[in-house]
Amino acid sequence: MKPYLRIKENPGESISFLIGNTFREVLFKPWKVVLLPLTLYKRIRLQREKQRTVLETNIEVLYLVDAESLMAKDFTMFEQTLSRKGNDLIATIGDFGLSVDYQIPSRKSNTDSKNQWNSDLEKTLESIIASRRPKKFIFIGKYPYAGLLSVIRRLESQKYVAWLPVRAQPKAIKERAFRFGSIIEWDSAVEPAIELDLNKIYIDPKSPLEFANNISQWAKEHGLIHSNPHDAGLQFYSESEIGRVKSALERGNLVVYIYESQLNAEFSSKKYAPTFFPIFNDNQDETEYSIKRILALYSSNELHPRTSVQNTCEKWNDTLKNTFNQRDP
């Protein structure tokens, strides 16, 4: 199987059609019968070479978003989520607001018949898949239209095709799920907002005493207030508090992590930068460097209170990214 989505072979491009068409040419031009064996050999060889050709592609995912299915809060969340698409493609049904690669007129705003609109949708998606060769396809919407399902049925494989149902009825999901390789679970509940209070700090009681004293002195000089881990925007933790460090990072806090021997592998990911500051205990250079970075963030416009939308976007970025991981070889 080729490493990108493919429409099943057009009957007009099959070997049997090629052979039949060659014989029909001979009927109208009998003098070609002498060249028939050589002509068949060349055409079949070229057709097989064409079928084996693997073209390059750098398109990871094609997203099709049905804007008519989305509510206001969905627009905000998906706009922020898909704005980080990289080399992915975004096609929308209706006006999405975000700058997209392809925009298809919505069913409600179009004067064509239902059958014509679905036929146009099918042809548009087929053209995108054939010309841009995305590796994967994710439909985001309430109801997969007939034109969409027709394209999916004609793909060589559906295992890299997913549906993220937005408030779809369980019955509708059950009836159409078999057309997709994956169904992405969607939870539209709004998480509580998280405010990042940079005027407050929290120091883990298990932190090395000398380090804690130095940080307290630094906090006093800069007018920062000691607080609890629920309110403090800037938090300092010792090596033993791995679980609390992970929770603080997920909440969006600035976290300074003092480790005694070797940095835990879980914290080596760039995912937490620039809000994560690992410091080897007693390393004065690392401490001063981290403090300078924190002060730079405080004095810049790059650090903002995290909102529920930001948290949801990050969650869905991970969800969409990992949708097909279990299927990858």
CA pair distance 224, 228, nearest whole angstrom: 13
Mean pLDDT lowest among 13-22, 108-117, 203-212: 13-22
User: Residues 112, 154: one domain?
Assistant: yes
Burial 13-42, CB ≥16 within 10 A → b, else e: eeeeeeeeeeeeeeeeeeeeeeeeeeeeee
What pLDDT, in 10s, does the model give residues 10-56? 655 566 766 777 777 777 888 777 777 887 778 777 877 766 665 67
User: Residues 186, 321: one domain?
Assistant: yes
**pTM for this structure?**
0.57
Are the beta carbons of 226 and 200 closer than 8 angstroms? yes
Beta bridge partners of 117: none
Mean pLDDT of 162-169: 89
CA pair distance 9, 129, nearest whole angstrom: 13
Mean pLDDT lowest among 22-26, 155-159, 226-230, 322-326: 322-326
CB count in 10 Å sphere of residue 73: 13
Position 122 scores a pLDDT of 94
Burial of residue 315, with CB atoms counted within 10 A of its CB: 0-12 exposed, 13-18 middle, 19 or more buried: middle
1 located within any domain: no
Position 87 scores a pLDDT of 77
Position 270 scores a pLDDT of 47
2 located within any domain: no
Mean pLDDT of 293-307: 63
CA pair distance 218, 242, nearest whole angstrom: 24
Q: How far is CA 145 from CA 5, 107, 115, in A?
A: 19, 10, 11
What pLDDT, in 10s, does the model give residues 167-189? 888 888 888 889 899 998 876 66
* Tokens describing residue 184: 């992405």
Instruction: Kindly tell me if the per-residue pLDDT of 327 is higher than 60.
Output: no
More confident residue, 80 or 149: 149
3 located within any domain: no
- Which domain, by its residues, includes 92? 61-190+315-327
User: Residues 204, 270: one domain?
Assistant: yes
SS (H, E, C) the chain: CCCCCCECCCHHHCHHHHHHHHHHHHHHCHHHHHHHHHHHHHHHHHHHHHHHCCCCCCCCEEEEEEHHHCCHHHHHHHHHHHCCCCCCEEEEECCCCCCCCEEECCCCCCCCCHHHHHHHHHHHHHHHHHHHCCCEEEEEECCCCHHHHHHHHCECCCCCEEEEECCCCHHHHHHHHHHCCEECCCCCCCCCCCCCEEEEEEECCCCCHHHHHHHHHHHHHCCCEECCCCCEEEEEEECCCHHHHHHHHHHCCEEEEEECCCCCHHHCCHHHCCCEEEEECCCHHHHHHHHHHHHHHHCCCCCCCCCHHHHHHHHHHHHHHCCCHHHCC
User: Residues 150, 217: one domain?
Assistant: no
Residue in the structure block whose two tokens are 């800069």:
222
User: Residues 146, 229: one domain?
Assistant: no
CA pair distance 210, 229, nearest whole angstrom: 21
**Tally of domains within the chain:** 3
4 located within any domain: no
Beta bridge partners of 63: 90, 138
User: Residues 113, 186: one domain?
Assistant: yes
User: Residues 169, 32: one domain?
Assistant: no
Are the beta carbons of 104 and 176 closer than 8 angstroms? no
Q: What is the percentage of the chain residues whose pLDDT exceeds 90? A: 16
Instruction: Kindly tell me if the per-residue pLDDT of 329 is higher than 60.
Output: no
**pLDDT bracket for residue 62 (50, 70, 90):** very high
Write the CATH number for 65: 3.40.50.2000
User: Residues 164, 259: one domain?
Assistant: no
Q: What is the percentage of the chain residues whose pLDDT exceeds 70? A: 81
270 located within any domain: yes
* Tokens describing residue 11: 């009957």
Tell me the Cα Rg of the chain: 28
Instruction: Kindly tell me if the per-residue pLDDT of 91 is higher than 60.
Output: yes
